[in-house]
């Protein structure tokens, strides 16, 4: 992915983070998921008072994309106040569709902290191939 394309993906993730519903953690997260055909789906984290139903930004973006028929992804930008990485649940769900996708971790000002493939973030990941005979 080119640096200008990466910058646009981060910009979309930052914009998505502004919609986060975070009354408990105050930890704003935005994600922008890029499909192989160039579409971008965004998401933010949405918290719940009972905690368990809380959904992360990455999964919000992925669910939006899947609900629109998209199944192949090349990259995701995740933004947080400190450039944090996707949680384990998000890594697992993203791995289901695109283990080789690039994960760009940036802060809310757009500074990139890390880049890695999803497979690097989830070594020995479990996916659909594990369930085949």
Map residue 90 onto helix, strand or coil. Answer: helix
Provide the 8-state DSSP code for 113: E
- Residues classed as catalytic: 58
Provide the 8-state DSSP code for 99: T
Q: How far apart (Å, rounded) are the C-alpha atoms in residues 129 and 133? A: 9
Claim: this prediction has a pTM higher than 0.85: yes
Q: What is the pLDDT of residues 90-117, one digit of tens each?
A: 999 999 999 999 999 999 999 999 999 9
Q: Are 43 and 34 in contact (CB under 8 A)?
A: no
pLDDT of residue 13 exceeding 90, the answer is yes
Q: What is the pLDDT of residue 133?
A: 78
Confidence of residue 38 (pLDDT cuts 50, 70, 90): very high
Q: What is the pLDDT of residue 78?
A: 98
Query: Going by C-beta distance under 8 Å and a sequence separation of 6 or more, which residues neighbour residue 8?
Result: none
Q: What is the pLDDT of residue 43?
A: 98
Confidence of residue 68 (pLDDT cuts 50, 70, 90): very high
Per 3-state DSSP, the chain is made up of helix, strand and coil in percentages (nearest 5) of 30, 25, 45
């Amino acid at each position: 992915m080119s640096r200008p394309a990466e910058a646009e993906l981060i910009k979309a993730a930052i914009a998505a983070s502004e919609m986060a519903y975070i009354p408990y953690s105050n930890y704003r997260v935005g994600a922008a998921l890029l499909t192989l055909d160039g579409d971008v789906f965004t998401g933010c984290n949405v918290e719940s008072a009972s905690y368990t139903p809380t959904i992360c930004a990455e999964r919000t973006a992925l669910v939006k994309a899947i609900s629109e028929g998209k199944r192949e992804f090349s990259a995701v930008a995740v933004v947080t106040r400190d450039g944090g990485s996707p949680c384990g649940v998000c890594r697992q769900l993203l791995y289901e569709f695109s283990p080789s996708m690039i994960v760009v971790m940036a802060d809310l000002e757009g500074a990139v902290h890390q880049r890695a493939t999803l497979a690097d973030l989830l070594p020995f990941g479990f996916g659909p191939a594990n369930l085949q005979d």
